[in-house]
Structure 1
Amino acid sequence: MILGLMIFFSGTLSLLFVRKHYLMSLLSLEFMILSLFYMNFNFLEFFYFDFYFLIIFLVLGVCEGVLGLSLIVYLVRKNSLDYVDTISLC
């Protein structure tokens, strides 16, 4: 369980350090989703529960990743870069 928490907090730190680049922040979010999956798997395995929740969790994680990638593709086609600093809100 401590390993899962260390992985989650390292994903959080990487998200804070690369917050200006969309693709790297999306990768760190996926890293955090995988660490949550690992912790849920260990919890459900310890108490001998079924793993149906994990399938739903993975499906939602994939949907989050696809939505993020589609937003990145839209921003790259619109602005030619995927950096936050180059995008103006006006």
Structure 2
Amino acid sequence: MMVINMIMIFIFMFIVGNMIFILKHKHLLIVLLSLEYIVLSIFCIMMFFFINIEYDLYMLMVFLVFSVCEGALGLSILVSMIRTHGNDYFQSFNLL
């Protein structure tokens, strides 16, 4: 019974992160924070399943390395966007 509750909590975390990503897309910082929340929920799901099947946790370290690289890339894009446009609104960002 506790296993099902933990899985439901992790899936709820993932769904909430996706809802924030879809609904709050005006600011780049909010989008980046919701992406990091989604990555955290996926990490919790992977850790829970790897521990239950008694698998090596090396893949979690690889996943964390890629998530840190994704976060650093997002922050660098945020800083360059604030320097060029003055804010992080997507409305003021013109692709042309």
Normalising by the smaller structure, the TM-score range is over 0.9
1:80 aligned residue:
86
Identity %: 37
2:29 aligned residue:
23
SS of 2:93's partner is: coil
TM-score normalised per structure 2: 0.91
2:60 is aligned with 1:54: yes
- Aligned amino acid, residue 87 of structure 2: L
Q: Unaligned regions of 5+ residues in structure 2, if any?
A: 1-6
CA distance in 2, matches of 1:77, 1:34: 29
Moved over 2 A (4+): none
CA distance in 1, matches of 2:37, 2:27: 16
CA distance in 1, matches of 2:53, 2:93: 48
SS of 2:94's partner is: coil
2:85 is aligned with 1:63: no
Q: Unaligned regions of 5+ residues in structure 1, if any?
A: none
* CA-based RMSD: 0.7
Instruction: Number of aligned residue pairs: give it.
Output: 90
2:38 aligned residue:
32
2:2 is aligned with 1:2: no
- Aligned amino acid, residue 50 of structure 1: D
CA distance in 2, matches of 1:81, 1:28: 19
